[in-house]
């Protein structure tokens, strides 16, 4: 079951946490060859352009069946399954989208097994089957895979994509890249996401990830064999560490638009924001949309300490300009109350290029600050004893130096 998020309401409109508001697909796959200026060798890059709708969701094109039928899917690292609406969907039973016409595919197979996938924001029902799937225009990724062909969904009225492509770390379920790799059609089952704001091109890399990315990532181990979860050592707001309590893990989830943090952390952030001319509206935080660069430092800076790296965000990262009300823009931070882990959604993923290595159970972050051993030790003592431990540690260190 996918880890879904309830859609909050902003000024009467559904704002999607897990499934964004999308539009019809127009991007195609790109295969780029470019010269590496340092080695003067030709590097082949496999990537697909993702559509970004209002900075709350990213999706791309796939082809299914024989002959191919084109549909759009959310590229979701938070769930393991591939599902698309079938021709059994009607306007009264399913959200408005394209359908996959099973009778038009000569390679379609029905398993005659019904199932339901439940999300916090809704659910979809369908029947399991199989057919060929590939990324648009790339036959190397064409594989025969299991698919849930839906005939009913609820809670997805604001969703304009057709279906969802699960890319979680579930070891018992192969995604299309796992299958293509096992069949020898591609060299690697690695994939990477470079999410950008709507003015820029968002990219999904697969097979051979560019050297410029791979040579500049910091790797973090993944804790589970089902989801892309990483250990969170601590979180600070404006340099002040806040105990996260039972929350020790974070899910890296491209299917979630927002940043979900423990209540204590969110309250601390909101308290700082209210002091900076922001205000709460219907339970959601809004801040002035136009913030001069010289005033960015007046707003809370959030630092999330993982094993070996620090993820840092400022107001320009966690404010969503596309959702505004009377000159005030939505702050994409919410309290995580449904699960015992934090969720680092698109707000975090837009800041860094992230590589997902399912085979070696690790995630790579490009553009992060390294966490030194000294900082790691300090965080450990803060988490246990608070800031008093740091003062004691400094005094002990000073005494040791005096003896030397």
Please identify every residue annotated as catalytic: 76, 253
CA distance 197 to 349: 11
For residues 79 and 170, the answer to whether their CB atoms sit within 8 Å is no
Give the Å distances, CA to CA, from 152 to 125, 131, 233, 240, 263.
5, 20, 41, 47, 35
Q: What are phi and psi of 184, to 5 degrees?
A: 80, 15
CA 103 to chain centre: 34
User: Which residues neighbour 89 within 8 Å (Cβ) at sequence distance 6 or greater?
Assistant: 97, 99, 150, 151, 152, 153
For residues 353 and 209, the answer to whether their CB atoms sit within 8 Å is no
Tokens of 202: 């968002």
Exposure letters 193-217 (e unless 16+ CB within 10 A, then b): bbbeeeeeebbbbbbbbbeebeeeb
Residue in the structure block whose two tokens are 């394209």: 98
CA distance 41 to 218: 25
For residues 306 and 220, the answer to whether their CB atoms sit within 8 Å is yes
Report the Cα–Cα distance between both ends of the chain, in Å, rounded: 59
Q: How many CB atoms lie within 10 A of CB 113?
A: 10
Give the Å distances, CA to CA, from 11 to 165, 326, 329, 375.
30, 11, 11, 42
Pick left, alpha or beta for residue 238 (phi over 0 → left; psi -120 to 50 → alpha; otherwise beta): left
Q: What angle do CA 368, 225, 365 make, to 5 degrees?
A: 10
The burial of 70, by beta-carbon neighbours within 10 Å (0-12 exposed, 13-18 middle, 19 or more buried), is given as middle
Q: Comparing C-alpha atoms, which of 394, 378, 388, 391 is closest to residue 234? A: 378
């Amino acid at each position: 079951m996918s880890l879904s998020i309830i859609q909050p309401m902003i000024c009467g409109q559904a704002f999607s946490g897990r499934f964004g508001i999308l539009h019809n697909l127009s991007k195609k796959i790109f295969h780029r060859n470019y010269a590496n200026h340092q080695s003067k060798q030709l590097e082949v890059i496999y990537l697909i352009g993702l559509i970004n709708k209002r900075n709350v969701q990213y999706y791309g094109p796939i082809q299914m069946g024989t002959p191919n039928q084109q549909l759009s899917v959310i590229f979701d690292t938070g769930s393991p399954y591939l599902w698309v609406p079938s021709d059994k969907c009607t306007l009264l039973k399913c959200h408005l989208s394209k359908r996959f016409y099973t009778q038009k595919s000569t390679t379609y197979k029905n398993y005659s097994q019904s199932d339901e996938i439940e999300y916090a924001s809704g659910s979809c029902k369908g029947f399991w089957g199989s057919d060929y799937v590939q990324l648009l225009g790339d036959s190397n990724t064409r594989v025969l895979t299991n698919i849930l062909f839906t005939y009913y969904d609820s809670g997805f009225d604001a969703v304009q994509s057709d279906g969802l492509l699960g890319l979680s770390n579930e070891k018992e379920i192969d995604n299309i890249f796992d299958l293509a790799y096992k069949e020898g059609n591609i060299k690697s089952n690695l994939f990477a996401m470079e999410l950008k704001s709507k003015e820029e091109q968002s990219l999904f890399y697969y097979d051979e990830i560019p050297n410029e990315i791979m040579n500049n990532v910091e790797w973090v181990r993944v804790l589970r064999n089902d989801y892309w979860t990483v250990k969170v050592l601590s979180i600070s707001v404006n340099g002040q560490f806040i105990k996260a309590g039972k929350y020790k893990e974070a899910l890296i989830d491209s299917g979630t638009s927002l940043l979900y943090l423990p209540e204590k952390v969110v309250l601390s952030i909101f308290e700082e924001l209210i002091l900076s001319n922001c205000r709460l509206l219907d339970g959601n935080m809004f801040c002035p949309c136009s913030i001069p660069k010289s005033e960015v430092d007046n707003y809370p800076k959030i630092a999330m300490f993982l094993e070996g790296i620090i993820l840092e965000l400022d107001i320009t990262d966690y404010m969503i300009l596309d959702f505004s009300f009377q000159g005030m823009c939505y702050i994409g931070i919410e309290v995580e109350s449904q699960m015992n882990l934090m969720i680092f959604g698109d707000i975090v993923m837009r800041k860094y290029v992230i590589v997902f290595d399912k085979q070696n159970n690790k995630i790579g972050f490009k553009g992060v600050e390294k966490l030194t051993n000294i900082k790691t030790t300090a965080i450990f003592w803060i988490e246990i004893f608070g800031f008093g431990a740091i003062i004691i540690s400094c005094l002990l260190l000073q005494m040791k130096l005096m003896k030397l």
